[in-house]
Amino acid sequence: MSRIAVVGVGAIGCVFGGYLAATGRHEMIFCSREIFGEVSVESDFGKTNAPAHTVMEPTGLEPADWVFLATKAHQVGGTAGWLEALCGPNTRVAVLQNGVDHVERVSPFAGQARVMPVVVSCPALKHGPGRVSHIRQAGLTICDDESGQDFADLFLGANVRIELSADMTTSAWRKLCNNMSSSAITVLTNEPYGVFRHTGLLELSAALLEECIAVGRAEGALLGDGIIDEVMAKNSGSPPDLIPSMLGDHRAGRPVEVDAQYGIIVRLGERHGIKTPLCRAVVALLETINSGK
C-alpha cells in the first residue's frame, strides 16, 4: 500500500485520484480547499464512487510516498506549503500538468523529492466538489524507467490506461501540439471545438502549430510532418460542443494557462533563434484577458 496525496482536486486530480481510491489499495489524501467525503467519476464506462479523505491545511501532514500534482501549471507556487509538508527524500512527485517544463517548474518547491513529468490524456469536467466526468478512457504517459513502472503499478485494477514512454520529450511536445493548436483560439472566440469548422481558424491553428513544431524539434522532440494533418483532423473532427479546459477556465472567470502553452514556446524559440510571432501575439492577448480577472 502506498500513501498518495493528490494536490489539486479539480477535474484531473479527482479523476485519477478517484480511480485510485476505488481500488482500495492505497491510503489516499485529497488536499482541497473544501471538504467532500466521496469522489464520483462518470464516464462512458460507467460511474465510479470512492470514499475521500480530504484535508484543507498541510499542517501536521507527514511526507507521502507519492504526490500527484494536478493543479494548473500557473498555480504551482500556491502549492508550496503542501509540497513542503508532503515531500521527503523518498517522495516521488508525479506532475499531471500541461506543458513541457514540468521538472523545472516544480523542482524548486519539491525539496529532495524526485519530480516526474506525466502527460495526461483525459478530457474532463468538474461538476462540483469531488464530482467529475470524462470522455474516452483516462490515460497517463510516464517515463519508461523503474519509477515509471512503480507509477504504473499504482494503477493496477484501476480504469486508467498507462503508457510507458522511452522518449518523454517527444510525448510532452506532442501533447503540447494538441493543446496549443486549439486552446487560445477557443478562448479568443469564446467558442468550443465547433469553431474549427471555419476554414480560416483551422488555418490559423495550423500556423500556430508550425511554430510549436519548429521549437519542439529544436528541443529534440521527434515530430514528423504528419503531425499537422493529425492535429488538424482532431480539431475539426472533435464534437462541436466540446469545451477544452482553457475555455472552461475562461468562462468560469479563472486565469488561463498562458506560459505553459504559449510563453514556453516563445522563450525556447528565442533560445534557438526561431521566430514565433503568432505565439508571441497569443501571449499578449491571453495575458490581457487574464489581467481582467
Report pLDDT digits (tens) over 199-254.
999 999 999 999 999 999 999 999 999 999 999 999 999 999 999 999 999 999 99
Q: What percent of the chain has pLDDT over 90?
A: 97
Residues 177, 248, single domain; the answer is yes
Q: Are 60 and 38 in contact (CB under 8 A)?
A: no
Residues 133, 9, single domain; the answer is yes
Alpha-carbon distance of 182 to 248, in angstroms, equals 13
Helix (H, G, I), strand (E, B) or coil at 114: strand
CA-atom Rg of the chain in angstroms = 19
Alpha-carbon distance of 154 to 135, in angstroms, equals 22
Where residue 45 falls among pLDDT bands split at 50, 70, 90?
confident
Backbone phi and psi for residue 207, each to the nearest 5 degrees, phi listed first: -70, -40
Into how many domains does the chain fold? 2
Q: pLDDT tens-digit profile of 56-103?
A: 999 999 999 999 999 999 999 999 999 999 999 999 999 999 999 999
126 included as an active-site residue: no
Q: Domain boundary at 166, 185, 204, which?
A: 166
Show the cell assigned to 240. 462541436
Residue 269 confidence (pLDDT): 98
Enclosing domain of residue 217? 170-291
Pick the catalytic residue from 126, 175, 234, 293.
175
Residues 161, 216, single domain; the answer is no
Residues 117, 177, single domain; the answer is no
Q: Domain boundary at 127, 145, 166, which?
A: 166
CATH code for the domain in which residue 234 is found: 1.10.1040.10
Where residue 41 falls among pLDDT bands split at 50, 70, 90?
very high
Where residue 181 falls among pLDDT bands split at 50, 70, 90?
very high
Q: What percent of the chain has pLDDT over 70?
A: 100
User: Residue 136: pLDDT above 90?
Assistant: no
Residues 54, 116, single domain; the answer is yes
What pTM, to 2 d.p., does this model score? 0.95
